[in-house]
């Protein structure tokens, strides 16, 4: 299962064992089914920091189970105007 | 030191001090400008004629040592929208005016001699109108430099560029920052043209130190100041994200949400978004110099401003905000942040609102005047505005005017004012604010984005129409209160989430004024002041049919979500009547 991941505003993959370590824009192959919370744990990004998560442009909860070709965008708390 | 009002009559060039009336004593900022405009200006007057008035009012708390509280409100009948108008800005003039004891400045009348400009000079000893002389016709950068050379460094400057002098209805009112950049604008609604119509090129304020502000309950004020400061420093948005990335950090999130208006509101996604956002500005501050975490006025603890440099490390412009990076970037299909920075500098110099300028260019691009994405041609076009050439005059009069001139149907305005950087078809609540605000399309009038996109103060699905009327109303009433206080609207990110910070905000006001305002008063006053503004607009001829988005948004589906605007008219009609 292939997914596309984009991390913003300083977020990076923090898991040294993964090929995407240190990256903020990468393709990723999931070997097993997992939800967003499990995926965040997998890439070493805390669920407290990952405040806003879109999948394919739509807000999704941490319980959302990832599907093939999903595009995931993750933001820490941000604001502006 | 007693506070006083300053009435400046440009017809006979007189300046008079007046006592602050009981009705005005507890007001400030937008509440005060709108009260004065409502009481003194005929709603049907021509906005650029002798019967309009231009009011400058520091917020209630402006000039005190409360954090992030330096806002200055500017109000008048708008020549862009025809409605009542308040735009507010940071920078250093607001605090200085307040510390001179000036409650508000009311500019009225018109000079007999057309094309003659004056400056209003305010010092602790002197209040005087002087001929603008060599400052006439100057761009804001040169003017600010000349004023600091002549009158001294650190002086507060409120001014207009050539656009304001030429009475273009996209002219804004500039306020300088601590380094004398003219980039802090009360930009929206053409207030610079009103200032130009009064023959007023600048107000210069010579004031040093913290002034002599009387606190009714200094201990309560201090407690409030500490609570609010703590909240602003601890909240992740005001304490970390804004000082690190600035407001342009929103480019990517709106793009991911499919709500970043692109190529004149024809899409909600821009393929070049990642090149023009706050992350790039942050990166440039390390590789080119410049600055993030820049404060637009002393005492700001949020510091969302920035300084953007050229590739060679020399100064280019300050600040590049989200709205500007969007309007002159994504909305024009331009993905060069250097080109955006240059257009931003030109807008600051000529004296244009960057939101309206970018939306205008987007419409001109749709008409084929130049191509989407052509940054260099866009720079040339903007320069025409400053020259006052025929094409420049068209563009300087804004999005709706330009759209009509070139036969464009997709004109993204409400009450003639261009929409800012949030697509209502992808973020439904902000469309309610655009449609029903007293100011025309204005995100700051009721920032539903906080809950619809940023998950601050709650969380709502941006694509769903239900409940958005009540949400927009709540934000509009809260916003007008903050606009009255003189606090930066960005304190909302912290006070919406942190009860202690909210109480701190109230404590500072009660500590200063000796009042006992509660959270309920916050909403009650907000509703009263909004009603006052609505009443002015109704008397000026506005009806509920004006509280609508442009028709194309109801039948053109917006990619990527392919939504039209589907908030029913009844919801829009009930925002202010329920």
Smallest CA–CA distance, residue A52 to chain B, in Å, is 7
3-class DSSP state of B83: coil
β-bridge pairing B102-108 and B4-9: parallel
B186 and B287 inside one domain:
no
| Per-residue confidence (pLDDT) for residue B41, from 0 to 100 | 98
Tell me which CATH homologous superfamily contains domain A2-75.
Beta-grasp domain (3.10.20.30)
Q: How many CB atoms lie within 10 A of CB B404?
A: 13
Smallest Cβ distance to B241: which of A57, A73, A78? A78
Residue B463 forms part of a structural domain: no
> Where a domain ends, among B173, B205, B237?
B205
Would you mind telling me the total number of residues written for chain A in this entry? 81
Would you say residue B497 lies in a domain? no
In a domain, B117, yes or no: yes
Mean pLDDT (10-residue bins), chain B, 578 residues? 92 98 97 98 98 98 98 98 98 98 98 94 97 98 98 98 98 98 98 98 96 95 98 97 98 98 98 98 97 97 98 98 98 98 98 98 98 98 98 98 98 98 98 98 97 94 96 96 97 96 98 96 94 98 98 98 98 90
Please give the ipTM for the structure prediction.
0.97
Say if residue B280 is in the same domain as residue B151: no
Asked if residue B453 is part of any domain, the answer here is: no
The partner residues of B125 in beta bridges, in order of sequence, read none
Cα distances from B557 to residues B134, B267, B451, in angstroms, run 52, 9, 24
Domain that residue B307 falls in: 248-423
B15-29 pLDDT tens trace: 999 999 999 999 999
- Any CB–CB contact under 8 A between A58 and chain B? yes
d(CA B316, CA B375): 16
Residues in B 224-243 with any Cβ partner in A closer than 8 A: 235-238, 240-242
| C-alpha–C-alpha distance, residues B560 and A58, integer Å | 11
**N- to C-terminal Cα distance for chain A?**
37
Q: How far apart are CA A46 and CA A7, in angstroms?
A: 13
Smallest Cα distance from B248 to chain A, Å: 7
Whether omega before B319 lies within 30 degrees of 0, making that bond cis, reads: yes
- Residue B567 is predicted with a pLDDT of 98
Same domain for B255 and B196, yes or no, is no
Last residue of a domain, one of B423, B447, B470: B423
> Which of A65, A23, A59, A67 lies closest to A44, judged by CA?
A23
3-state secondary structure of B414: strand
Alpha-carbon distance A20 to nearest alpha carbon in chain B (angstroms): 19
d(CA B114, CA B199) in angstroms, rounded, equals 8
Do B34 and B157 reside in the same domain of the chain? yes
> For residue B326, is it within any domain?
yes
Contacts of residue B79, Cβ cutoff 8 Å, sequence gap at least 6:
B47, B48, B167, B169, B189, B190, B193, B194
- Please report the beta strands in B305-456, taking only residues with DSSP state E, as ranges in sequence order: 305-309, 315-317, 413-414, 417-418
**A59 vs B246: CB contact, 8 Å cut-off?**
no
Do B172 and B282 fall within a single domain?
A: no
B252 shares its domain with B201? no
Q: Does B463 touch chain A (CB under 8 A)?
A: yes
Mutate which of B249, B421, B559 to disrupt the A interface (most A C-beta within 10 Å)? B249
- Is the minimum CB–CB distance between B68 and chain A shorter than 8 Å? no
- In 3-state terms chain A splits into helix, strand, coil percentages (rounded to 5) of 10, 30, 60
Same domain, B256 and B361: yes
B74, B33 Cβ separation under 8 angstroms = yes
**CB-CB contact of B350 with B382 (8 Å):** yes
For residue B14, being part of any structural domain is answered with: yes
**β-sheet bridge partners, residue B156:** B205
What residues of chain B lie within 8 A of the CB of A77, using their CB? 235-237, 240-241, 454-456
In Å, how far are B206, B404, B487 from B140, measured between CA atoms?
18, 29, 26
The owner of tokens 């609010």 is B228
Looking at the structure, tell me whether residues B195 and B280 fall in a common domain. Answer: no
Instruction: State whether B124 and B254 are in the same domain.
Output: no
Residues 6+ apart with CB under 8 A from B36: B24, B53, B55, B57, B75, B104, B106
Which one of A59, A75, A80 has the shortest CB-CB distance to B247? A80
Backbone angle region of B116, left / alpha / beta, with phi > 0 → left and psi within -120 to 50 → alpha: beta
B237 with A79: Cβ contact below 8 A? yes
Whether B9 and B68 map to the same domain: the answer is yes
Residue B143 belongs to domain with CATH number: 3.60.9.10
The pLDDT value given to residue B1: 58
Identify whether B277 is part of a domain.
yes
pLDDT tens track, chain A, 81 positions: 999 999 999 999 999 999 999 999 999 999 999 999 999 999 999 999 999 999 999 999 999 999 999 999 999 999 998
Based on the domain organization, do B179 and B283 belong to the same domain?
no
**Residues of chain B with C-beta less than 8 angstroms from the C-beta of A57:** 256-258, 560-561
d(CA B376, CA B356): 19
The CATH number covering residue B364 comes to 1.10.569.10
Residues in B 467-496 with any Cβ partner in A closer than 8 A: 489-490, 493
Residues B193 and B87 in one domain: yes
What chain B residue is nearest to A5 in terms of C-alpha separation?
B256
pLDDT score for B114: 87
Token match 């002798």: residue?
Answer: B50
Do you know the residue count of chain B?
578
Residues 428-457, chain B, touching A (beta carbon < 8 A) = 443-444, 447, 449-450, 453-456
Domain count of the fold of chain B: 2
User: Do B456 and A79 lie within an 8 Å CB cutoff?
Assistant: yes
For chain A, give every domain's residue range. 2-75
Strands annotated E in B224-278: none
- Kindly tell me the burial class for residue B286, based on how many C-beta atoms sit within 10 Å of its own C-beta (0-12, 13-18, 19 or more): exposed
Q: Which two tokens stand for residue A60?
A: 């999704």
């Amino acid at each position: 299962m292939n997914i596309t991941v984009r991390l913003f505003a300083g977020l990076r993959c923090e898991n040294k064992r993964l090929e995407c370590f240190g990256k903020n824009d990468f393709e990723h192959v999931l070997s097993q089914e997992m939800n967003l919370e499990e995926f965040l744990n997998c890439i070493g990004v805390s669920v407290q920091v990952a405040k806003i998560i879109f999948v394919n442009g739509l807000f999704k909860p941490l319980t959302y189970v990832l599907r093939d070709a999903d595009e995931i965008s993750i933001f820490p708390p941000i604001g502006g105007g | 030191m007693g506070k006083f009002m300053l009435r400046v009559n440009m017809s006979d060039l007189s300046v008079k001090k007046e006592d602050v009336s009981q009705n005005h004593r507890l007001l400030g900022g937008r509440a005060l400008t709108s009260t004065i405009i409502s009481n003194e200006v005929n709603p049907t007057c021509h906005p650029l004629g002798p019967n309009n008035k231009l009011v400058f009012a520091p917020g209630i708390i402006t000039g005190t040592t409360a954090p992030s509280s330096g806002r200055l409100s500017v109000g008048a009948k708008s020549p862009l929208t025809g409605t009542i108008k308040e735009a507010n800005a940071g920078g250093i003039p607001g605090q200085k005016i307040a510390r001179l004891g000036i409650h508000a400045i009311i500019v009225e009348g018109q000079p007999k001699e057309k094309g003659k400009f004056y400056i209003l000079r305010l010092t602790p000893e002197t209040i005087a109108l002087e001929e603008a002389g060599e400052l006439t016709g100057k761009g804001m950068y040169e003017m600010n430099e000349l004023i600091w050379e002549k009158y001294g460094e650190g002086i507060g400057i409120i001014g207009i560029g050539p656009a304001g002098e030429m009475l273009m209805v996209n002219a804004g009112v500039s306020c300088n920052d601590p380094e004398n950049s003219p980039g802090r604008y009360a930009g929206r609604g053409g207030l610079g043209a009103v200032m130009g119509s009064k023959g007023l090129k600048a107000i210069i304020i010579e004031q040093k130190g913290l002034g002599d502000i009387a606190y009714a309950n200094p201990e309560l004020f201090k407690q409030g100041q500490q609570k609010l400061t703590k909240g602003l420093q601890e909240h992740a948005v005001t304490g970390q994200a804004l000082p690190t990335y600035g407001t342009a950090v929103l480019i990517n999130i709106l793009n991911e949400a499919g709500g970043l208006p692109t190529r004149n509101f024809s899409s909600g996604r821009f393929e070049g978004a990642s090149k023009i956002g706050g992350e790039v500005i942050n990166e440039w501050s390390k590789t080119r110099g410049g600055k993030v975490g820049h404060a637009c006025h002393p005492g700001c603890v949020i510091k969302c401003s920035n300084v953007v440099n050229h590739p060679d490390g020399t100064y280019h412009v300050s600040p590049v905000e989200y709205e500007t990076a969007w309007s002159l970037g994504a909305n024009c299909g331009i993905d060069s942040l250097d080109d955006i920075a240059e257009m931003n500098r030109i807008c600051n110099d000529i004296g244009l609102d960057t939101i309206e300028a970018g939306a205008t260019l987007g419409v001109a691009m749709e008409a084929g005047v130049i191509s989407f994405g052509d940054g260099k041609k866009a720079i040339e076009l903007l320069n025409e505005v400053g020259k006052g050439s025929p094409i420049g005059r068209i563009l300087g009069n804004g999005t709706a005017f330009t759209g009509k001139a070139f036969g464009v149907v997709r004109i993204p305005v409400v009450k003639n004012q261009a929409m800012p950087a949030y697509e209502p078809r992808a973020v439904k609540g902000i469309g309610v604010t655009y449609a029903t605000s007293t100011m025309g399309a204005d995100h700051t009038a009721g920032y539903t984005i906080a809950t619809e996109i940023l998950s601050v103060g709650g969380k709502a699905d941006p694509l769903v129409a239900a409940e958005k009327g009540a949400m927009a109303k709540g934000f509009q009433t809260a916003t007008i209160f903050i606009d009255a206080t003189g606090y930066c609207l960005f304190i909302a990110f912290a006070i919406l989430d942190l009860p202690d910070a909210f109480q701190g905000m109230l404590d500072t006001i009660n500590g200063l004024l000796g009042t006992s305002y509660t959270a309920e008063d916050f909403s009650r006053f907000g509703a009263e002041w909004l009603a006052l503004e609505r009443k002015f607009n109704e008397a000026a001829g506005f009806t509920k049919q004006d509280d609508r988005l442009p028709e194309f948004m109801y039948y053109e589906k917006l990619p990527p979500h392919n939504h039209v605007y589907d908030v029913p008219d009844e919801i829009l009609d009930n925002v202010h009547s329920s």
